[in-house]
Structure 1
């Protein structure tokens, strides 16, 4: 059995035809408890935190099998509400009813601040799968905008990345790679995309999106394509798309 890391993912080769893929995310001080800094309903927290790990799994072509939630809150009723958000996050998936949700809560001590971790385990059938790769000459687009905290709630889906948009993007054969952006920002992930494809990176000069800002719960994603397909994608996508770099 071989185990390897790729960016934020872990790949486990369980046999010659199947790979397990593991992604995780965490959140702290976001919720409805006394000492939470960003005040939101627990179901919203569960929804967005789950999305981050789901995006990472789906972007490389894995099918989610199991979602594990590790909650630092009581089950009744904060934990139940977080799990409601987890269930809502997977609704757009055709196999959502087959995904097992499991986890643990804190029942020994009273909690005054919300925290949670999420792990998504997916599977890849390697017989009909090719690892997504960015090619020399491709351009990098940012789909969505980096947003954080209350900005995410206020956006109401107008400018941020979503599972529905990810599933639509995966239908286009001309898209080479999709890489969700998290708290380290767009520039960090651009460099990761270049590094893992053994490419160099040229950042465009006239950029209308903040490359350094945290994208919170993956409110945007980097997409690599040949430049000739840009207008097609821009016309189809309901949220902002910005050219930011070229790989060479």
Structure 2
């Protein structure tokens, strides 16, 4: 059994034909309890936190098979509401959530601040999988807008959703998708270039902050064929911004 790391993902080869992929994320001090620093409804917390790990699993081309939530809150009613949000995140996939969602809550002590972790396990059929890779000469494009904290609650119409990610994956002229999190676009751009033995050149005038946290993966970097960029920009329902080129 071979175990390896790729960016934030863990790969476990379980046999000649299948690889397990593990992604995780966590959240603290975000919720509706008295000591939460960012006040949001638990359903929103569950939805957005689940989306982070789910986007990573989907972007690499794995199929989610198990979702584990570790909730540092009581089941009734905060835990139930967080799980409701997790189910909302998985809804676009049509997954049997009653079968694949499992987890634990804190029932011994009352909590005054929300904490949660989520782990998503996916599986790859190696016979039908080709690792997504940025292509030399392709454009580096950001889909969605980096947002964090209360910004996400103010306007969700321009952030990357699971539905948007699934639409991007259908496009054969998009070579790789990398969700962006708290480290920002510039960090992930360097990662995608390094992993593909490429470098990049940035455009002179950028309309997007490359160093800002994208919170719960509110945007993604894509490697896209140059001739496809204008079509995507004009038709996609959330902002699409070219930031440079892979060279």
- What secondary structure, in the 3-state scheme, does the structure 2 residue paired with 1:209 have? coil
Residues 217 and 141 from structure 1, CA distance in 2 versus in 1: closer, same or farther, beyond 3 angstroms?
Answer: same
Root-mean-square deviation (CA, aligned residues, Å) is: 1.0
Residues 112 and 239 from structure 1, CA distance in 2 versus in 1: closer, same or farther, beyond 3 angstroms?
Answer: same
Counterpart Cα distance in 2 of 1:23 and 1:93: 17
Partner of 1:108: 108
Counterpart Cα distance in 2 of 1:99 and 1:174: 34
Which runs of structure 1 show a deviation greater than 2 angstroms over 4 or more consecutive aligned residues?
94-99
- What secondary structure, in the 3-state scheme, does the structure 2 residue paired with 1:15 have? coil
Partner of 2:33: 33
Q: Is the 8 A contact 2:23 2:120 kept in 1?
A: yes
Per-residue deviation, residues 200-245 of structure 1 (Å, max 9, x unmatched): 1212111000001100110000010121110121122100010112
Counterpart Cα distance in 2 of 1:3 and 1:44: 33
Partner of 1:159: 158
Counterpart Cα distance in 2 of 1:147 and 1:96: 30
Q: Is the 8 A contact 1:64 1:121 kept in 2?
A: yes
Counterpart Cα distance in 2 of 1:235 and 1:97: 35
Q: Gaps (5+ residues) in structure 1?
A: none
Per-residue deviation, residues 102-131 of structure 1 (Å, max 9, x unmatched): 111111111111010000000011111100
Counterpart Cα distance in 2 of 1:220 and 1:130: 23
Q: Is the 8 A contact 2:147 2:218 kept in 1?
A: yes
The offset of 1:99, in angstroms, is: 5.3
Q: Is the 8 A contact 1:65 1:98 kept in 2?
A: no
- Normalising to structure 1: TM-score of the pair? 0.97
Per-residue deviation, residues 147-186 of structure 1 (Å, max 9, x unmatched): 111111111x311000010011111001000000000000
> After the TM superposition, which residues 158-197 of structure 1 pair with which residues of structure 2 at under 5 Å, given as runs?
158-197=157-196
The offset of 1:97, in angstroms, is: 4.4
> After the TM superposition, which residues 94-173 of structure 1 pair with which residues of structure 2 at under 5 Å, given as runs?
94-97=94-97, 100-155=100-155, 157-173=156-172
